[in-house]
Structure 1
Amino acid sequence: MNILYITKLTGNMWAGPNNSVPAQIAAQSKYDNVFWYNINKVAKEGWSERKYYNNLKDFPSKRIKDLPTPFNNPDIVIFEGVYEYPFNSLIYEVWKRKIPYIIVPRSALTEKAQKSSVFKKKIGNFLFFERFVKKATAIHYLTKREWLESKIKWPTNYFIIPNGIDDRGPIQKNNEINKLKGIYIGRIELYQKGLNVLIQACSEVKEDLRRANCTIELYGPDRDESKLKLLNIIQENDIEDLVFVKDSIFKEEKEKVQLNADFFIMTSRFEGHPMGLIEALSFGLPALVTEGTNMREEIVSANAGWGADMNSYSIASALKEIVEENSMIREKGSNGKLLSLNYNWDKLAETTREAYRKLINLDVKI
């Protein structure tokens, strides 16, 4: 099967798709003939070394017919994202040539995401993007919750296959817990990531956190000057000794931080399927998550962490539960590690291959 992936990735490794999309394509390349066309001029280390990676410098025309054979006439096209205006000419070409295509919206079609930049999206949907979604062969959602939050407005053919991770192997963590360290790794963004609500929750249980010698570290790049706002909220709530906002971390430094932490926190209002959360579980970190992460039910069912509603009272209750049952943290972390094994990229690529073949009625094995 010849698969053409079309993306507009910047290479900024703090944006989830810049991690998950290359990993997804790499896994799929083990089973199918793939071509990655990034509508950007990014020559990122690790991407450009892949024979199937191409960007706007390689093929500036933005026309599928100008790509090399057989990808100038692919079996299927995968659009990674929805509201990417550089896709438009390619979409018109796909329509004209009646090439089957799939959209991976990564939460862009959920009700909450639609309320962000609502005026722009309403106009964009009316003029173009509603047709783009409705004409798709299928929508590839990453979680059942993402589908549930999207299906009312976008009642289209769909399938659900999550993001994945590579198998990390055994993790060795210190069995003694004298102090507790919680971490968040992601964008420093108040609204989507719910960090303002997290800080309020920490304030509500600050004495419990102090008694347990528990601190929380937030790692990530700034988004819309959220970092300064967050620091001000921390100061106003008198928890500067409990919550620390830090810079971005990558590779070995990121791995070290996760190995030295005791639990992970993600209080998002909405997500697609957060790779950062799956990765944390693979490091043996139990997780405190809200419904918006799309993994609350799985984590609670697997006894791999704590679930909370999207309000400070519920998150504060979960934090209090963590410090009161810190003897259970390693057990929950082990359960998280087991849960993460469900998200192996190679296994998911096999499932994805079968989904694509079924959609385009390709029954003959290649």
Structure 2
Amino acid sequence: MASQKKIIVHVGGYDPDALDGVSATLAGQCDALHRMGVAVEIWGFDPRVMDVTEGRTGSGIPLFRLPRCKHPLVAAFMMPPVTRRWIASRAGDIHRLHLHSVFIPSNNLIADLGLPYVVTPNGGWGERVLSGRNRLLKRLWVMLREKKLWSRAQAIQAVSEAEEKELSHLPAMGKVTYISNGVKIPPLDQIKGGRSVWLFLGRLAIEHKGLDRLITSYARCRQRAGSLPGLVLVGPDFRDGKAELERLIAEHSLQEHVEIRGPVVGGDKDRLFGEASLFLHTSRWEGMPLSILEAMSRSLPCLLTEGTNMVPLIRKFECGFPAGNSEDEIVEAMLLAKDGDLSALGQRARQCIEDNFSWDSVAKKLTTLYGLEA
């Protein structure tokens, strides 16, 4: 694709190795669009800078840091004049803004400037989020700001079919299009390891990621099965989730069978996937977890709850163990996994990713979403 005169601006954080799936997704999208010849920039709001600063990503994409008001309450309703003037000076260059994630006041403020924009909520407008933590404040912010954001968008990118359906029921919702996340697919000769443990990778957010029921289901499954592979939970702590997990592990006398590790990136993450024979994700709600796509790209079958939004996928491609959202269903899926042909399932998981979830295929769909000519 030839370079476009107009620029696609992605608003958010860029980090290909981020444990935060939103930043890694933004990086994957931008790098793939850049390879296609699409003119891309990345803008991030930063309270630590006083003027707009420019840099470049490792792949050569222009990256700008824009001043943001330091006080959170002020930042929720006001953009610094220097930032507003700079954006106004660039308005003629912009074809679309692409706003990543929601309930971010900077996104609301930049959307108010009148430039056409696309939003990827990444599950943030789902009912479980809206009715969960800080729900009264979220409902108020929806009335004040988010409803306006979604109703005026040129398009909304849903990252799963379930999210597409859920978003379509919100009042005054703009046009919703399903375009999945993607993943960087490693060469087969780089996929190595002992394949001996069961693995979870992600934030140690107990309620969101369903880690309480993962531990309890694992304990119940051990009682029925006699023995299971060790369970390894890897990721950054979240709201003291690690301490609560340690309490649950001790309560079920699993200290010798369950291990908690800190976050990993790069080669350490590759080696971690190499240790695993099965990837488990028992979330109560999600958009589309990038860690699941990463695991599948490394030929790992997955045990998933319906809350991940990816059970239909593993059913369709027969590449894992679907579970409902109850502990009983998770236990039954674990028992099947214990005796399953994990190698064959893993090969189908890898093929599913190669056929459907490369970043280049995602980028082609995004150009249509942006209204760019092929």
TM-score (norm. length: structure 2): 0.86
Q: Answer whether contact 1:48 1:54 (CA < 8 A) is retained.
A: no
| Deviation at residue 187 of structure 1 after TM alignment | 0.4
Distance 1:33 1:133, change over 3 A: same
Residue equivalent to 2:31: 26
* Identical aligned residues as a percent: 21
Q: Distance in 1 between matches of 2:168 and 2:366?
A: 21
Q: Distance in 1 between matches of 2:101 and 2:61?
A: 23
Asked whether 1:135 is paired with 2:140, we answer no
- 1:61-80 CA deviation, whole Å, 9 max, x = no partner? 56465249765541111111
Letter in structure 1 aligned against 2:12: T
Residue equivalent to 2:41: 35
Residue equivalent to 2:60: 50
Q: Distance in 2 between matches of 1:93 and 1:264?
A: 43
Q: Distance in 2 between matches of 1:227 and 1:121?
A: 26
Residue equivalent to 2:344: 331
Structure 2: 5+ residue runs without aligned partners?
69-78
Superposed, 1:1-366 pairs within 5 Å as: 1=4, 2-7=7-12, 13-31=18-36, 32-40=38-46, 47=57, 50-56=60-66, 61=81, 63=83, 66-67=86-87, 72-94=92-114, 99-116=115-132, 117-154=134-171, 155-171=173-189, 180-208=196-224, 210-212=226-228, 214-325=229-340, 328-341=341-354, 342-357=356-371, 363=373
Distance 1:315 1:62, change over 3 A: farther
Distance 1:175 1:303, change over 3 A: farther
Larger RCO, structure (CA 8 Å, separation 6 or more): 1
Aligned residues: 351
Structure 1: 5+ residue runs without aligned partners?
none
Measured on the aligned residues, the alpha-carbon RMSD in Å equals 2.8
Q: Secondary structure at the match of 1:221?
A: coil
| Deviation at residue 242 of structure 1 after TM alignment | 2.0
| Deviation at residue 56 of structure 1 after TM alignment | 2.3
| Deviation at residue 21 of structure 1 after TM alignment | 0.8
Deviates more, 1:165-174 or 1:77-86: 165-174
| Deviation at residue 13 of structure 1 after TM alignment | 2.1
Q: Secondary structure at the match of 1:205?
A: helix
TM-score (norm. length: structure 1): 0.88
- 1:220-251 CA deviation, whole Å, 9 max, x = no partner? 11100011011101111122222211111111
Letter in structure 1 aligned against 2:42: W
Q: Distance in 1 between matches of 2:294 and 2:81?
A: 37
Q: Distance in 1 between matches of 2:240 and 2:199?
A: 20
Distance 1:353 1:324, change over 3 A: same
- 1:102-121 CA deviation, whole Å, 9 max, x = no partner? 11100011111111221111
